[in-house]
Chain A
Amino acid sequence: MTDSRVVSGWGRTSPVSCRVHEVVAGDVGSVVVAAGGSGAGRGVLARGLGRSYGDAAQASGGDLIRLVDGGIDLDVSTGVVTVDAGTSLDELLRVSVPAGWFVPVTPGTRFVTVGGAIAADVHGKNHHRDGSFGGWVESFDMVLASGELVSVSPVSDPGLFWATVGGMGLTGVIVSARVRMIPVETSRMLVSTRRFGDLDSLMASMTERDDAFRYSVAWVDATVSGRRLGRGVVTWGEHATRDALSGRAGREPLSYAPSQRVGVPGVVGSVGVVRRWNAAAFSEAWFRKAPVSRDGEVQSIPAFFHPLDGVADWNRVYGRRGFVQYQFVVPDTAVDTVRQVLERVVVSKPADFLNVLKRFGAAGDGMLSFPMPGWTLTVDLPVVDGLGALLHELDDMVLSAGGRVYLAKDAHTTPAMITAGYLRLAEWRSVRDRVDPTRVFQSDLARRLAL
């Protein structure tokens, strides 16, 4: 099925119209060749569930490929799954968790595809321990610009493999992948929570305690300044073992059936526009409701990993002009930059309340992968007059600290920022030029950032 559709990223900032082809894996090659040969030069691109925030999954005036197959073949003895790239992590978890296997890495939403997870080399709360998604991929099958289907592993073609992991769809269309899952005894999490009144104590505690836990993340308040700047709540977690559970959870340790499914239009209590005062009220309530200290709390997988998935269409609350999710990483030594950015955001008073701070572990091998050792901060900023200037200012702070911004979230930055932040860009380009010399694959992100 092919039709012309207006698409945008999750931030809803730059809607454009593209021809969308919903196809099975076997037809990808012919779509790529036909669109690539049309001469219009508007590009072909794979699109997953459109959970990247900016313009990564669109190609204005071009052709988008959505893969419809959702095959999942899990080897329950080894935990290696062969999965179609259009399959969502939601669908995968529904099959794997009851069998005792969990995805090695999950972003803050399970409504992403396996293809999207590889193309953005996504990270989760376990990055400090387990790295990013690409490190768990044994191989994938992809369609190149020539229309040819190839199987790629880190051994068979390390250049193409690591240019595709984190490569934002620009090397070809991944149609299926073999991924190593991690074993779990139960579908519950054991959670430890601490509340901190300021940024220093919060960061010190993460530095000290992260190593003891597989999962860790902090929510920080971006509505208060001064001594309380960066106050927040850290949660650490582990997959609960069977003997840690009692009652119903103990009798059905691997039960897993979240009610929210993708595409089901949910009813949102009130879709209003987030204004500063209710962001402040929300932040205050969120902070107060968190326990000062609590250990051994049992939580479900959705509650721990995907709290926002329970709220359908939450990305609409920021109003017509949409929002930008600004995510950067700076080296461990640049703690001050985290503080400066937060200060700058508080001063500019946007209606911002979803701010996440996390410490990354070692970087993976993806040439354009985002994570590197250090601190990553994520802030949601609704589009208002003046936001552009603020974002360039934040970019300058991040750049001078030796950091970079995340392509899967980016919607505003400059080519210079990417060249300075991604030191393996030239190496990535040489692989891209080898497999796609005429730039059959394009995205608005790639055009904007001159990738």
Chain B
Amino acid sequence: MRNATGEHQNVVVFGGTSEIGLAIVTELVTAATRHVVLACRDTPAGETAAAALDLPSGCETHVVAWDATAVHTHADCVDTIVGIVGDLDIVVMAAGVLGSQAQFDDNPTDAGHAVAANMAGPVTTITAAARQMRTQRHGHIVVLSSVAGIRVRAANHVYGSTKAGLDAYAQGLADHLAGTGVNVTIVRPGFVTGRMTNGMKAAPFATTPAAVAVDTARAINRNQRIVHSPGILRWVFLILRHLPNTLWRRIPG
């Protein structure tokens, strides 16, 4: 259960080895936290990540196998986690693959896999978590979206469209859950330096996993539905979204 001061007793991250996901865990953990669950495909990497977390005494970590593309296993996986932690307080969906547009162009099957990993898997898992939270009548779902989904760019339009889809799903879910005591926060980071973007040229307003985690934790505490990180991107994309397409197409990147 979440306590009176907004501390969560358990935090579950899908895509448990994601840098942003782990940074969010670090930001949310307090002396009240009893369980951290990292659900990921690469469980040895999950164990390593779990061991590296700085947790208060009495807080247990659990690494659970979860493959984003194996959608038929997701409902059971959520049940397994409920069996470990009890009521789900906070679920963070941090899974996602970036891929490269060139790779997708050469190998269309990879594009289909990216859609499965970034959209079909997260939607299945979040829907299962939402079902559990609806009976609990409390809980918070955090969805890592991206500014790339606000207006999809040619340079990464497969990735961007998966995020656009996930973002739209999460907004609809938030409305669907209104009045049930369950809340949804959608996080739209800009360019995040880290493993996922290694070797890429940083975009303007580039940020870090730690900074995104701070913004996310604040948005959760205030129960904000959508948060851009850094915050200025909200205004930048308000403008970009309304650019005529002839101009938009020419923006480099």
* A interface residues (Cβ-Cβ under 8 A, vs B): 11, 13-14, 16-18, 40, 42, 54-55, 60-61, 322, 324, 383, 385, 387-389, 391-392, 411-416, 444, 447-448
Chain A residues with CB below 8 A from B137, complex form: 16-18, 42, 60-61
Is the contact region of chain B dominated by helix, strand, or loop, or is it mixed?
loop
CA distance A383 to B221 in the complex (A): 12
- Assess whether B4 is in contact with A13, with CB atoms less than 8 Å apart: yes
Q: Which B residues lie within 8 Å of A392 (CB)?
A: 30-32
A414 to B29 CA separation, bound complex (whole angstroms): 13
Knowing A389-B30, A448-B9 are in contact, say whether A416-B58 is a contact too (CB < 8 A). yes
Which partner residue on chain B sits nearest A384 by CB separation? Answer: B5
Q: Which residues of A contact B3 (CB under 8 A)?
A: 14, 388, 411-413, 448
In Å, the complex CA distance between A54 and B58 comes to 23
In Å, the complex CA distance between A448 and B34 comes to 10
Q: Is the CB of A60 within 8 A of B34?
A: no
Q: Is the CB of B58 within 8 A of A414?
A: yes
B35 CB to nearest A CB, Å: 11
Contact with A along B133-166 (1 / 0, CB 8 A): 0011110000000000000000000000000000
Chain A residues with CB below 8 A from B58, complex form: 414-416
* Given A16-B181, A17-B137: A444 touches B30 (CB 8 Å cut-off): no
Q: A388-B32, A389-B30, A392-B30 are in contact. Are A40 and B135 (CB under 8 A)?
A: yes
Cα distance A385–B181 when bound, in Å?
22
* A-B CB contact pairs (8 Å), 12 listed: A42-B136, A54-B4, A60-B136, A60-B181, A61-B181, A388-B7, A388-B30, A389-B31, A411-B5, A412-B4, A412-B7, A415-B58
B108 within 8 A of A: no
Which B-chain residue is minimally distant from A411 (CB atoms)? B4
Collect the chain A residues with CB atoms within 8 Å of residue B1's CB.
14, 55, 60, 444, 447-448
- Kindly state whether residue B62 has any CB partner on chain A within 8 Å: no
CB distance from A350 to the nearest CB of B (A): 12
B44 within 8 A of A: no
- Chain B 110-147, CB-CB to A under 8 Å as 1, else 0, gives 00000000000000000000000001111000000000
Q: Across the two chains, which residue of chain A brings its CB closest to B89?
A: A448
B interface residues, Cβ below 8 angstroms from A: 1-7, 9, 30-32, 34, 58, 86-87, 135-138, 180-181, 221
Cα A25 to Cα B5 in complex, Å, equals 36
Residue of B nearest to A446 (CB): B1
Partner of A447, one of B87, B180, B181, B221: B87
A18 CA to B180 CA, complexed, in Å: 10
How many angstroms from the CA of A255 to the CA of B9 in the assembled complex? 51
A256 CB, nearest partner CB in chain B, Å = 36
CA distance A389 to B33 in the complex (A): 12
Check B34–A388 contact: CB distance below 8 A: no
Q: Which of B6, B135, B138, B181 contacts A388 (CB 8 A)?
A: B6
Q: A392-B31, A447-B87 are in contact. Are A387 and B5 (CB under 8 A)?
A: yes
Contact: B136 with A61, CB < 8 Å?
Answer: yes
> B128 → chain A, closest Cβ, in Å?
16
- Chain B min CB distance to A35 (Å): 13
A447–B4 alpha-carbon span in the complex (Å)? 14
Residue of B nearest to A412 (CB): B3
A392 to B31, CA, bound (A): 7
Tell me the complex Cα distance, A180–B5, Å. 39
A412 and B30 CA atoms in complex are apart in Å by: 11
Q: State whether B32 touches A17 (Cβ < 8 A).
A: no
Q: Given A60-B136, A60-B138, A61-B137, check contact A415 B34 (CB 8 Å).
A: yes
Instruction: Please name the residue on chain B nearest to A59 by beta carbon.
Output: B137
Please give me the residue from chain A that is nearest to B133 by CB atom.
A61
Q: How far is the CA of A157 from the CA of B2 in the complex (A)?
A: 36
Contact pick for A324, options B4, B31, B34, CB 8 Å: B4
A61/B135 in contact, CB under 8 A? yes
CB contact between B2 and one of A14, A42, A415 (< 8 Å): that residue: A14
Chain A residue at smallest Cβ distance from B86: A447
User: Could you say which of B31, B32, B136 has the most chain A C-beta atoms within 10 Å of its C-beta?
Assistant: B31
Chain B nearest CB from A391 CB (Å) reads 7
Alpha-carbon gap, A388 to B58, bound state (A) = 17
